[in-house]
Amino acid sequence: MKIERDNGSYYIYDYTSVVFFDTIYQDIKELFQRFQKRLGLNGFYRVVVSLKKIGVFMEVIKIEDAFYKDTLDLKIEVKDSLDVYYSTEDYFLVKDFSIVRYFEGKYYALVDDSFDELFEKVEFGDFVFGKKLDSILCNSVVI
Distance CA 108, CA 63 (A): 29
Q: Around 15, how many Cα atoms within 13 Å sit in the side-chain half-sphere?
A: 9
> pTM of this prediction?
0.81
Query: pLDDT tens-digit profile of 52-107?
Result: 877 889 999 989 877 777 788 899 999 877 888 999 999 998 888 889 999 999 99
Q: What is the DSSP string of 59-81?
A: EEEEEE-TT-SS-EEEEEEE-TT
Give the pLDDT score at 116. Answer: 65
**pLDDT band with cut points at 50, 70 and 90 for residue 117:** low
Q: What is the DSSP letter of 71?
A: -
3-state class of 60 per DSSP?
strand
Cβ–Cβ under 8 Å, residues 84 and 59: no
